[in-house]
Amino acid sequence: MPRVTVAEPARTQAVTRTVYEPNTPLPAVLISYHIPADRAADIPALSLLKAILSEGESSRLYESVVYRDQLAQSADAMIDSKQSTGNLVVYAIMAGGKSVDAGEAALKREIARLRDAPVTPAELAEAKNEILTASIIARETAEGKASTLASSVIVDGDPRAADRQLAAIAQVTAADIQRIARTYLADAQSATIRYLPLDAKPAATRVATIDVAPSVHVADLKAPANVEIVTPAAEGQRVLAPAPGTPISPTLPQPISTQLANGMRLITVERHDLPIVTAYLVTGGGAATDPANQAGVSSLAAELLTKGTRTRTATQIAREIEGLGGSIGSDAGGDGASVDVTVKADQLAPALSILADVAMHPAFAPDEIERARTQQVDAVSLALKNPAQLAALVADRAVLGTSAYGAPVGGTPISLKAITRADITAAYARSFSPDQATLIMVGDVTAAQAKTLADAQFGPWKKTGAATTPGMPIDYPAPRVIVVDMPDAGQAGVVVTRPAIARTDPRYYSLAVANTVLGGGFSSRLNQEIRIKRGLAYGAGSTLDAGKTQGTIAARTQTKNPTATEVVSLIATELAGMGKAPVSPGELETRKAVLVGNFGRGIETTSGVAGILGSYVQNGVSVDELQQFTAKVGAVDSASVQTAAAALLDPKKASIVVVGDARQFAPSLRQAYPQTELIPEAALKLDTAALK
């Protein structure tokens, strides 16, 4: 095809556009600037400028716009460099009650700082470390290596371009960054987009139009005279793809387990191909132990771990860990909590010291609690305006009822606002104690080195005396059909979900294969029926969530409002069909290959191995399963898939949730399901199992 070779003209006058959309919980603002082609000499300096602006919680955007001034729920920057003109973009999703005017001014203030004064030596060193660590992480996987090479070849015309840019980044100075900020980030070169809720639109607003320059000509696409047009041969005459080669037996990671004197477990997986290590501390407890009126308290406690200790402030934690080129994160799930860090191997010791400090000595300072609470309420508010996300939250409540698993892990605006510091410290105590904690180290570290480091950092940790309440069997409520009316929603979120099994159930692998046949990947039955054959959604799939004491299986998609009922019917048909007939040998082997392939991609990275082992620990599964996974999937046969599907995929025991513009689908859904409940969006209460 003829290539477009027209160069985009330089922007010499600032441009601003305002977009108004319904169901917009938080306004946003974005500013973009043109940058040169990826092979240009200034790209390394621009990469560092972007990292200084937005990489991690010690970045300028996070420290000023999100953390200090609390103007934004999140703020970030990105570089989109191409063969020709690209873009550097900065944006902010505003915090509740904050205006885009304030956000735009804050973003432009940070851009002006880069133009007006050189960055500090510490910022420059940190950004270089972060980029180097990120490049090593990107090359852990086959896909990452291929993507790096492909980008270098296609965009830069040189397979060594990525390495060359890394070398150039090491030579960039603070003066270089100030120079390119002045060159490319002038106010007159900016294009600003403001994203606002529809009800903020003035009544007399003129509709913006895009003018097409007179120089633009439209013509039918014709191949140049020197291009040969090839018609493919008939299907039966084509050369077949080569047959698969002999399967390769993978070298699977070998976990080595030991225990510290205080009862903390240590698991090490040695991988010495790249100089990188992930340290991952997992605990029991989690959202399953949240009191009925405190949904989100474990999540809030986990979030606050990295926001200050007895000896370090939140800013110091971020600057120290990011100065090592790493990043630290903390989280809580249904059955536990975690803290993790990934760094170059030569920085493991100081990074582990910081990880131990945040895990063992959180301060839970009142001002940090209020900051985290506000950010979490804003994050939840965003989710509640997304039809697909809201449908998933409502579905969990419908299936898991009054159980703590049924409440949103991240909480609700009501529950979050009522949580006290005492509630947070109690949630921390339920999860963080050495006797129910496991430290997992994966990467360029030996088991002996890991033990020495763990003893030094976690040896002094003493048992708190708090115990995690054992998981109780869940009294699953009767299935429900629920419509949440979100007027003017652009699409409908559809979830069909039902109880499943715990991770340790012997039927797990049969059900996992059944789920992959049903909704795992592009060629799954749900995606074939809903997207490929009928074009009713961009994608459709299913997930099996098997936890420590319970599990759910959910089929989900997003579709146009008028087709929501049809999609529900298609999902129910596919669920029922799984138990009525055996899976063919060809489909079975293909879908098992998908499951094994996904596992293989997961164990390519240090963080992936650590994450899989962490889930095993939290769900009571032996870590030896890491080496048994592929064999157990391979042993699943068609009969066991059908048996598991008949018992655990029957749609008659499933709850159905549709979130969208109810007037376009509720009447037809009620014809199919007369028991349908309709809940107005404003009346929905995720804090109770009744949902209203």
Predicted local distance difference test score (pLDDT) of residue 236? 83
List, for residues 437-450, the tens digit of each pLDDT value.
999 999 999 999 99
Q: Are 177 and 114 in contact (CB under 8 A)?
A: yes
pLDDT confidence bin for 471, thresholds 50/70/90:
low
Secondary element (H or E) of residue 288: none
Residue count of the chain: 692
- pLDDT for position 252: 82
Q: Tell me what pLDDT residue 541 has.
A: 97
- Which pLDDT value is given to residue 216? 74
**Is 481-592+637-683 CATH 3.30.830.10?**
yes
**Position 355 confidence tier, pLDDT thresholds 50, 70, 90:** very high
Residue 224 has pLDDT above 80, yes or no: no
Identify the CA nearest to 599 among candidates 621, 626, 581: 626
Per residue in 90-102, pLDDT (tens digit) is 999 999 999 999 9
User: So what's the pLDDT on residue 203?
Assistant: 80
H or E stretch covering 496 = strand 492-499
Helices (H), 361-480: 366-384, 387-400, 413-418, 421-431, 447-458
Residue 35 has pLDDT above 80, yes or no: yes
Q: How confident is the model at residue 210 (pLDDT cuts 50, 70, 90)?
A: low
In the chain, which segments carry CATH 3.30.830.10? 15-200, 256-458, 481-592+637-683
pLDDT tier at 592, thresholds 50, 70, 90? very high
pLDDT for 250 beyond 80: no
Q: Which two tokens stand for residue 46?
A: 């621009």
pLDDT at 209: 63
Looking at per-residue pLDDT, the higher value among 637 and 240 belongs to 637
d(CA 450, CA 352): 10
| Bridge partner residues of 679 (DSSP) | 484
- pLDDT > 70: percent of the chain: 97
Q: Are 591 and 578 in contact (CB under 8 A)?
A: no
Q: Is the pLDDT of residue 464 over 80?
A: no
Average pLDDT of the segment spanning 505-509: 97
**Protein fold of 15-200:** Cytochrome Bc1 Complex; Chain A, domain 1 (3.30.830)
Which residues on neighbouring strands pair with residue 90, listed in sequence order?
Answer: 31, 77
Contacts of 416 (CB under 8 A, 6+ apart): 296, 300, 373, 376, 377, 380
CA distance 189 to 15: 8
Distance, CA of 634 to CA of 630 (rounded, Å): 6
How does pLDDT run across 111-129, given as a tens digit for each residue?
A: 999 999 999 999 999 999 9
If DSSP states are collapsed to H, E and C, what string results for 141-162? CHHHHHHHHHHHHHHHCCCCHH
For the chain, the average pLDDT equals 93
Q: Write the burial class of residue 576 (CB in 10 Å: 0-12 exposed, 13-18 middle, 19+ buried).
A: middle
Q: Is residue 244 very low, low, confident or very high in pLDDT (cuts 50, 70, 90)? A: confident
Q: What is the pLDDT of residue 468?
A: 59
Q: List, for residues 143-169, the tens digit of each pLDDT value.
A: 999 999 999 999 888 999 999 999 999
pTM for this predicted structure: 0.89
CA angle, 77 then 81 then 85, to 5°: 115
Residue 470 pLDDT > 60: no
Predicted confidence at residue 253, as pLDDT, reads 86
CA distance 373 to 367: 10
CATH architecture of 256-458: 2-Layer Sandwich (3.30)
Instruction: State pLDDT tens for residues 15-29.
Output: 999 999 888 889 999
Mean pLDDT of 276-298: 95
* Confidence label for 472 from pLDDT (cuts 50, 70 and 90): low
